[in-house]
Amino acid sequence: MPDNKPKPSKHPNVIWVFGDQHRAQALGCAGDPNVYTPNIDRMASEGLSLNGVGGCPLCCPYRGSLLTSRYPHEMIPGHEYPIPDDAKTLAHPFNDAGYHTAYIGKWHVDGHHEREGRGALAYVKPHRRGGFKQWLGFENNNSQWDSFVHGHDDQGNEIEHYRLPTYETDALTDLTLDYIKERKEDDKPFFCVMSVQPPHNPYVAPEAFQGRHTPGDIKFRPNVPDVKRIREQAGRDLAGYYGMIENLDHNLGRIFSTLWDLEMIEDTHVIFFSDHGDMHGSQGQFLKTNPYEESLRVPMIFGGTNPRYGTKNGQNAALVNHVDMAPTTLGLCNIDVPDWMRGTDYSALRVMGKEPRDDYPDSAFCQLVVPTKHGNSTDRPWRGVVTTDGWKYVCLEHQPWLLFNLNEDPYEQINLAHNSSFGKKRRELQDKLEQWIKDTGDEFPLPQDI
């Protein structure tokens, strides 16, 4: 009998959907009892989940690495540093392959300093918009009910700043849905990024979502100390945080519904992730920039194209770092990865007919190159590795800092970094870290006597 099934496209569409400070643990499918995420959970059950790492848990450095597949020390080392003028992003190989490319939402790689005025109203010059054919976004904005966008359309016509009419995630999703509908009428494949600020602080969401949560009902992670000030702040913040995540989940569902209605789901990869996490009282810490699990781990879910037509699903322990996102996304679309990209292409773990490598990295390299010196942020530079077999090792300058066996201690309550019984493991992991530093051209004064 003839095979009448639709054939997978050689060049499928791709949509990135990612928020800011959404930690991997804050999902229903990850076991968080506080949050209801049916659309993300369904995406995980039908798609492929990998081990997401925010290799520099800070907005600007992560985003520079995300777009270019270069590490923070060679692209954007710290907060409010600009991406170099001559930097190529993954939009360039997509454009060269005949794709339409669009970026919608938070950018935060232009180097604007908030002390010079609101990032929401900062003007990103056209040549600093990453090469995207269509760009409608903002540099930064920590006010989700008062958001502005500007940019250019796909004809190069400038769009002046205008205020979004509703809550940021809802409004940016509206713009993304408009874009998807426009692309339906075009025979070109597309790569579209939707980058939203939530669940970044301030932790506020529309009432229909935030109203589901109150501080007194929050169930804390076991590593949130029973200290009054810590739990009071964490409870207040998390009530809003979970509402923001549920709103994002709702809007992800809107994207999937549109793809189904337009019969585009078979030809579209949807990748859901985040730039880094948020501590919310774990280890007595708040916000980000440290290498603990709540700050470092991010969702990493590949969905979209129906599994019957050429996709692999389930869970895989492969560590997908910020530098890996661009080459993996190009690989999903059968586009050659440029030699200037540093990261690993993991697309063979998702696409039928591609043979996975037998030499994927067994660890991910993590950095804080330039500390922000903000309150509740780690104020010293560090380097570290996390491994596929469940270990984490992190150094300050000249000094071992953290060593955890995450297999037996997932909440990082037993620091083995200064325990001589684990000296051999410490040496092994520092050798691995030293190799990463050498291979990436980084510089960092590791401990000498370990």
Residue with tokens 């913040």, as numbered in its chain: 237
Question: Under 8 Å CB-to-CB from 435, ≥6 apart: which residues?
Answer: none
pLDDT in tens, 44-91: 999 999 999 999 999 999 999 999 999 999 999 999 999 999 999 999
- In tens, the pLDDT along 85-128 reads 999 999 999 999 999 999 999 999 999 999 999 999 999 999 99
Checking if the pLDDT of 2 tops 90, the result is: no
Residue 379 reports pLDDT greater than 50: yes
Instruction: Evaluate if residue 361 carries a pLDDT over 60.
Output: yes
CA 98 to chain centre: 26
CA 183 – CA 102 distance, rounded (Å): 11
Of the candidates 44, 40, 45, 70, the residue with the CA atom closest to the CA atom of residue 55: 70
pLDDT score at 1:
44
Mean pLDDT of the chain: 95
What percent of the chain has a predicted confidence (pLDDT) above 90? 92
Q: What SS3 class is residue 320?
A: strand
| pLDDT for 5 beyond 60 | no
| Predicted confidence band of residue 386 (pLDDT cuts 50, 70, 90) | very high
- Rounded distance between C-alpha atoms, residue 74 and residue 77, angstroms: 7
Residue 321 has pLDDT above 80, yes or no: yes
Q: What are the angstrom distances between the C-alpha of 304 and each of 15, 17, 131, 397?
A: 9, 12, 25, 43
Are the C-beta atoms of 94 and 183 separated by less than 8 Å?
no
Beta bridge partners, 272, equal: 17, 301
Region 343-367: mean pLDDT is 94
Q: Convert the pLDDT of each residue in 345-355 to its tens digit.
A: 999 999 988 88
Cα distance between residue 130 and residue 88, in whole Å: 7
pTM: 0.95
Is the per-residue pLDDT at 309 higher than 70? no
- Domains observed in the chain: 13-349 (3.40.720.10), 380-439 (no CATH)
